[in-house]
Amino acid sequence: MITIKNIKTLGIILALVLIYLAICPFFTDEIITKNTIATTIILILVAIAYIVVIFKPQWNKALLLLEGLVVAIVGYMFLAIPYNYLLTIIGFIIAIIAILAYLEKLPPSLLKFFYR
């Protein structure tokens, strides 16, 4: 049976795998491009946020807002057209969902993920 401790351990392992995947291109013979930098920033941010949410579940809305803004900014700054616009829109949608979760204006089916 899966316990909370096992889920936390698996979450930490997943976060470490994401961090490894993010920094791996810097230690191989790959050419570092803006796409690589953007992917690295986003993967490390997701891994850190995942670890924080595992241990502090009440921070999920704040981290979702931060992730949305960072995804929008990183996407706009580092990626080429049309990908930068797409990631900017996705980032702002994530941030808007976090703000609506703070205000409790989301449908109950979505609010259950933010309030337990």
**Which pLDDT score is estimated for 34?**
84
pTM of the predicted structure, to 2 decimals: 0.73
Blockwise average pLDDT, block size 10, the chain, 116 residues: 73 87 87 86 87 83 84 81 85 88 84 75
Q: How many domains is the chain partitioned into structurally? A: 1
Collapse the DSSP code of 26 into the 3-class scheme (helix H, G, I; strand E, B; otherwise coil) and give the result.
Answer: helix
Residue 79 neighbours by CB distance under 10 Å: 19
At 2 the pLDDT is: 65
Cβ-based neighbours of 71, under 8 Å, separated by 6 or more: 42, 45, 87, 90, 91, 94
Q: What is the pLDDT of residues 76-108, one digit of tens each?
A: 887 778 888 888 898 899 888 888 888 888 888
Q: Is residue 116 part of a domain?
A: no
* ∠ Cα 12 34 81 (to 5°): 115
Write out the residue range of the structural domain in which residue 95 sits.
4-111
102 part of a folded domain: yes
